[in-house]
């Protein structure tokens, strides 16, 4: 490692003969970097293994997540069929006691539902109509 740096410093000195300040500053930074890496390796001998393990776990999780996000064709068709269904309007009684439960939840997934009533402003959340040029809600 030091042979490589010394050859690089020689080439740097050949190119930049008249600028002694730059040469000294560059040499100082190279030696400071080498000293810091040596001190770090001595004080933390297992750091390279920890960095290698962390990067391996990160790559494993990244590839695992990218494989698991794709939906099956049946799921895509089911979602399309549910979204095409007509909008179901909830009556005042149904807005308190919803018509779906654990037995028929599959029939209500991804189905458009319209709720009417008086909003509770303290618990309301602002939903933007458009974001970054895309229309989120049609009014």
How far is 107 from 82, CA to CA, in rounded Å?
A: 8
Report yes or no: 57 and 50 within 8 Å, Cβ to Cβ: no
Tell me: pLDDT of 40 over 80: no
Cα→Cα distances 11→31, 76, 81, Å? 16, 62, 70
- Tens of pLDDT along 58-71? 998 888 877 766 67
Does the pTM surpass 0.75? The reply is: no
Query: Exposure of 84 by Cβ count < 10 A (0-12 exposed, 13-18 middle, 19+ buried)?
Result: exposed
Report yes or no: 66 and 48 within 8 Å, Cβ to Cβ: no
Tell me: pLDDT of 15 over 60: no
Report yes or no: 136 and 128 within 8 Å, Cβ to Cβ: yes
């Amino acid at each position: 490692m030091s042979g490589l740096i010394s050859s690089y410093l020689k080439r740097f000195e050949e190119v930049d003969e008249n600028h002694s300040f730059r040469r000294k500053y560059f040499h100082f930074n190279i030696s400071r970097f080498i000293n810091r890496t040596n001190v770090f390796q001595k004080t933390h001998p297992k750091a390279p293994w920890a960095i290698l393990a962390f990067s391996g776990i990160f790559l494993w999780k990244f590839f695992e997540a990218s494989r698991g996000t794709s939906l099956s064709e049946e799921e895509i068709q089911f979602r399309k069929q549910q979204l095409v269904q007509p909008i179901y309007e909830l009556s005042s009684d149904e807005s308190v006691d919803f018509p779906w439960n654990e037995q028929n939840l599959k029939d209500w997934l991804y189905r458009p539902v319209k709720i009417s009533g008086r909003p509770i402003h303290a618990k309301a959340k602002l939903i933007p109509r458009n974001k970054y040029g895309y229309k989120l809600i049609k009014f």
